[in-house]
Amino acid sequence: MFCSEITTNPGIVLNSDKMSFFIRGKAGGKPGGKPKDKVKKNFPPAEQKFLGKRKKFEDEEVESDEEILSNDEDLPAAESSEDELETPQEKRLRLAKKYLEEIEKEEQKRAEEGNSAANVDKRLTNEYLDSVGKLRRFVAGSYLGVEEDRIQMLKHKSQKAPVTCLCLSRDGKWLFSGSKSPAIVKWSVEDWRPMGVISLLDRGQENGKKVKVQGVCLTITSDGKFLAVADGSAGIRVYCPESLGSLGVLRAHRKPVTALVARKDTHEIYSGSSDKTVIVWSLDEMAKIEVMFGHQATVTDLDALTRDRAISSGGNDCSIRIWKVSEESQLVYNGHSGNIDSVRLINEENFLSCGDDGSLCVWSTMKKKPLCVQALAHGKSPENNEANWISAIATYTNTDLVASGSCDGFIRVWKLESHFRKCVKIMEIPVPGFVNALTFTPDGNHLIAALGQEHRLGRWWRIAQAKNCIAVIPFRRKT
């Protein structure tokens, strides 16, 4: 039984139409005055407490359900974003179509003639094979020789000592060089002019001991956002490659850092040290991820590609190790008779190594012994009749082309044949002095060498007629 107005108390009126209530004060009473207090005394204590909290909301009405519904109808409907509506499969399809459109545009610009669709298909195939480590390109047969009249020697006033290390950005725009001088120089690959210098002299002593400041090794991430530098201390300096500004220092090693490499398409780097450890770092968090033990001597070199693994050479322990980071395991390879100086990945399944025994070794990750051993690759020294120490190697990734350097006055370029079971020399490039580092440009048209009068690791002997500089060597290739 309903009525329009039900009075339950002289002070409260309930309106059934709006399902609300309000407090009716005594006629002529002032707000907040004694009449309200008198009304309040007519209720039980629980109701008085409730009414006390509602003082400031006097004469306020609560809307009924019907009014709330009618008001909601007047509000505009919330717009849902496209990402919330589409399923994960639809999102992947949309991103794939967008990526294909970008590739088609790039290939149309590159190819003046020919079928652009075939170029897109070939590029996608190569990218997939590269991601799984099975890309193979046979390019060594296209190299005819060196354009000797176009060889350039780069030298900077801040690097008067032997050049010890090189680092090339993935897009081939920047080259960074380090030397036994306390400076890192940034070069423009387009016109080979210096673009800036990073001074390493701002670091004083470490643990109360003086440390010789120099560019020991360098690495840069694939996207060009981070440059890591080892300066002869136990720390790793991180810089912005574009502005050359400092981003911080990574510290975890107990002895000087001797090797650095960045994992492809990530912001992770691997570092090796004289403390015999390899450490995985995240540059986004500026922190270490994992410390890996196994080597029995100084880690002399590191390399990595796309997979979550790194390869390292252990110097005097005569071993090469592949670190499977996510699996927390390692593979050990033995084949050199002496100190292993450097190691480079040819692809995800093959790698190249060199050492002071004068031999080049080509390996498969599936075998514990080398597939090919090129003994006395740089001959013997006329002074002591010992093998010339191979101090630097370079691989043109995912191809059959490699290069090696020593102190015999030549850089040798090799072709890998018979499924990496044979190493054939295709050219010799005369360069005086120690070849301390080698790297191919991304297009394979140039070989860049770091030269010096001394070996990068010490001062055992000196070649006076050599120059401390960077050699840029252009190739002649079949069109």
Count structural domains, the chain: 1
Q: Is the pLDDT of residue 36 over 60?
A: no
Cβ contact 240:188 at 8 Å: no
* C-alpha distance from residue 242 to each of 173, 198, 225, 228, 439 (Å): 11, 12, 8, 13, 21
Q: Is the pLDDT of residue 109 over 60?
A: yes
Band (pLDDT 50/70/90 cuts) for residue 308 is: very high
What integer pLDDT is reported at residue 193 of this predicted model? 95
* C-alpha distance from residue 388 to each of 60, 355, 359, 378, 450 (Å): 97, 9, 9, 6, 18
Query: Does residue 272 fall inside a structural domain?
Result: yes
Q: Which CATH number fits the domain that encloses residue 386?
A: 2.130.10.10
Query: Does residue 59 fall inside a structural domain?
Result: no
What integer pLDDT is reported at residue 34 of this predicted model? 44
Query: Does residue 219 fall inside a structural domain?
Result: yes
What integer pLDDT is reported at residue 42 of this predicted model? 53
Q: Is the pLDDT of residue 54 over 80?
A: no
Q: How far apart are CA 425 and CA 319, in angstroms?
A: 26
Cβ contact 368:318 at 8 Å: no
Cβ contact 274:256 at 8 Å: yes
Sign of torsion over alpha carbons 326, 91, 222, 363: positive
Band (pLDDT 50/70/90 cuts) for residue 25 is: very low
428 or 116: which leads in pLDDT: 428
Range of the domain at 189: 147-202+211-477
Band (pLDDT 50/70/90 cuts) for residue 458 is: confident
Whole-number percent of the chain with pLDDT over 70: 77
Query: Does residue 349 fall inside a structural domain?
Result: yes
Q: Per DSSP, what are the bridge partners of residue 404?
A: 393, 412
Determine which helix (DSSP H) or strand (DSSP E) holds 118, and give its type and residue range.
helix 116-131
Q: Is the pLDDT of residue 318 over 80?
A: yes
Query: Does residue 241 fall inside a structural domain?
Result: yes
Query: Quick one: average pLDDT of 439-462?
Result: 92
What integer pLDDT is reported at residue 6 of this predicted model? 41
Query: Does residue 326 fall inside a structural domain?
Result: yes
Query: Does residue 258 fall inside a structural domain?
Result: yes
Q: How far apart are CA 235 and CA 253, in angstroms?
A: 7
The residue behind tokens 């360098």 is 218
318: tokens are 């005569």
Query: Does residue 356 fall inside a structural domain?
Result: yes
